[in-house]
Structure 1
């Protein structure tokens, strides 16, 4: 849930997130999907494997091999 206060601060589920705080009067709106997908891509770039990142970018499922 997104809530905007009078100062343009966005609260996401009760927490202020610095990446969604907008105080400019001149900005392009960003959808929640654009914002969230950027975070997921950054996470996969840092912590995921190349196959995971490629699958995310190509919008296809990725299932990791399970080894015992």
Structure 2
């Protein structure tokens, strides 16, 4: 799914991608790291999820220009 979304963004000429993942969701953070996303920092107690504030990790990736 992540690869399909990246391909769609490239078709739309969107070159900078970003996402957030729960800081304690190790699986999602590993997924972004293994797919070329760079860690941009942690937003501490930033997002309300089910009535509790959770910290979120910011990930970003720059797609190459088309050949």
Structure that is richer in helix per residue: 1
Question: Fold match, TM over 0.5?
Answer: no
Higher RCO structure (Cα 8 Å, ≥6 apart): 2
Structure that is richer in strand per residue: 2
Larger CA Rg, structure 1 vs 2: 1
- TM-score normalised by the shorter chain: which range applies? under 0.3
